[in-house]
Structures are given as structure tokens and as C-alpha cells.
Amino acid sequence: VMEDGTLVFSLTVIKGENTLFSMILYSADGGENWVLSEGIDSGMCRDPRITKWERGQILMVSTCTDGQKVHESRDMGRTWTEAVGTLPGVWVKSSPEGSWEKGLDVEALTTVTIEGKRVMLYSQRRCSSWKPKASEPYLWVTDNNRTFYVGEAFVDGPRDKTFAHTLLYSDGELHLLQERGNITNRIISLSRLTEQLETIKDLLIGWTRLDASFSKVFIPTAGLVG
């Protein structure tokens, strides 16, 4: 939901036999009418995840043939640009081969306000060709200037795994919605991330105090040259 109440969903559209597009579907009148945006025609992108960031800005993370990419739009999907460096230290093009950094996949993300500070929460898994199972998802928080590793979002059991998950924040509580199970049986579960939320709150309080202390630092400029 955007600041003006516009409802936004992400989806993958298949055109022809082998062409995939990531795009959004939105409604500005409470769901009575829906508008399909332009698609991201870049590397056969699918499985988009979206979140809002600055006012009117939508960030979309999608899985493309050459790795995960981040695109942004400020006109409700009429135009998309690749968001290179928009969130330094957060987004990397994932790859099943190579180093740790190149094997990180963003799986869930959301923008929230905690302790009066607007931040983005996101989860990543590390994937590799030599490991049959992806790692447990790592939970991160960023304010676009700093990024902090909170911890594991959850741990899969020995007999089941998580096929999909999303982060939900409502009424001051952080929740994890999961689709779990095995090949024959699957369930939907909702759990609270209480410890992770407390860690995030303590961190944001520290960031706020640090910013306040920096703002009080006076650097004299009289007599400086250059």
C-alpha cells in the first residue's frame, strides 16, 4: 500500500512461449479498477518482490537469467530503471557459482517504521551449485546508509523445508509467514519474530543516538583553505 492508499501487487507475465516480464498491478480506487504497468524487459526477469521506499518510489527485486536485479519506478511502473547503487552494500547480482556475495538471493523485503525510523527489512539465502540445499535465510535491516545482520529468520526442520516466506509488520509486531512442508504436504504458518524485533529496536535506538551525537559536533571552518 503506497502513501496515498494505492494498492500494488507484483506479478510475472508470460508472453509467447519463453518471454517473461516482471511488472506491477495497481489500483488507486480501492480495487474497483486495476492498471497493469509496463514490464521489465531485462534478462527474462521473474518472481518479483516489491516494496516502497521514498515517497512514490517502488523498488522491485526480480530473478533474471543473469542473476537478481533491482529496478525502481517513480511513476507507478510506466518506466523502470535498474537501481545500481540505490542501496549500497545491500543489492548484489546473485549467481549459483562463485563467491559468497554473488550467491546471495533476496527472498523477502518490506519497508517499516520502527522506533520512529524508516528502515527496510529483507531476508537473503546463500545458494551454490555444490550445496543441494540453500542456507537458512539471513535477516537484515538497512536505513540506506547502514546495514546490519540481525540473525537467522528461521531454521528448516529435518523433514520439511520452507518453499516461500514473507515478512509482515503490523501493530508493533514482526511476523514471518511461511509456506512449509514437503513434496506431498504443505502448510501455511505464521510466527512472531520477537527476539529479532528486539534486536532491531535496540539497534535503531543506537543509530538514532549516534546520529544525534554527530549532529552536535561542531567543526570550525574559519581559516581553513580549500
Question: Is 198 inside any structural domain?
Answer: yes
Q: Are strands 58-64 and 117-126 parallel, antiparallel or unpaired?
A: unpaired
Cα 40 to chain centroid distance, Å, stands at 17
Q: What is the separation of C-alpha 5 from the centre of its chain, rounded to a whole number of angstroms? A: 20
With 60 as the cut, is the pLDDT of residue 4 above it? yes
Specify burial of residue 59 (Cβ count, 10 A radius: 0-12, 13-18, 19+): buried
The answer on 188 and 169 residing in a single domain is yes
Distance CA 8, CA 6 (A): 6
- What pLDDT score was predicted for residue 162? 75
Give the confidence band of 93 by pLDDT, cuts at 50, 70, 90. Answer: low
Bridging pattern class, strands 138-142 and 147-152: antiparallel
Structural domain contains residue 222? no
Determine, yes or no, domain membership for 107.
yes
Lowest mean pLDDT among 138-142, 176-180, 195-199, 211-215: 211-215
In a domain, 220, yes or no: no
Note whether residue 186 is domain-resident.
yes
Residue 85: pLDDT band with limits 50, 70, 90: low
The torsion of the CA quartet 34, 38, 120, 147, rounded to 10 degrees, works out to 180
Among candidate residues 28, 50, 84, the one where a domain is terminated: 84
Is residue 225, in this structure, part of any structural domain at all? no
111 and 80 in a single domain? The answer is: no
Mark whether 92 and 144 lie in a shared domain.
Answer: yes
Q: Are residues 74 and 104 in the same domain?
A: no
Query: Is the pLDDT confidence value at 26 over 80?
Result: yes
Mean pLDDT, residues 196-200 taken together: 96
Q: Higher-confidence residue: 130 or 26?
A: 26
Provide the 10 A C-beta neighbour count for residue 95. Answer: 18
Both 91 and 55 in one domain: the answer is: no
Query: Is 141 within the bounds of a domain?
Result: yes
Q: Which of 21, 85, 98, 86 is closest to 51 using CA atoms? A: 86
- Whether residues 98 and 155 share a domain: the answer is yes
Overall number of domains in the chain: 2
Give the range of the structural domain holding residue 61, as residue numbers without chain letter: 1-84
Banded pLDDT at 211 (limits 50, 70, 90): confident
The last residue of a domain, from among 20, 53, 84: 84
Is the Cβ–Cβ distance between 137 and 152 less than 8 Å?
Answer: yes
Query: pTM for this structure?
Result: 0.80
- Angle at CA of residue 62, ends 109 and 177, nearest 5°: 35
Which residue has better confidence, 144 or 171? 171
Greater confidence (224 vs 199) lies with 199
Average pLDDT, the chain: 81
Whether residue 95 is found in the same domain as residue 205: yes
Report the pLDDT value the prediction gives residue 163, as an integer from 0 to 100.
78
Q: How confident is the model at residue 157 (pLDDT cuts 50, 70, 90)?
A: low
Residue in 124, 108, 114 with CA at minimum distance from that of residue 199: 114
What average pLDDT does this structure show over 155-172? Answer: 80
Res. 34 pLDDT band, cuts 50 70 90: very high
Asked if residue 48 belongs to a domain, the reply is yes
- What pLDDT does 174 receive? 95
Q: What is the pLDDT of residue 224?
A: 55
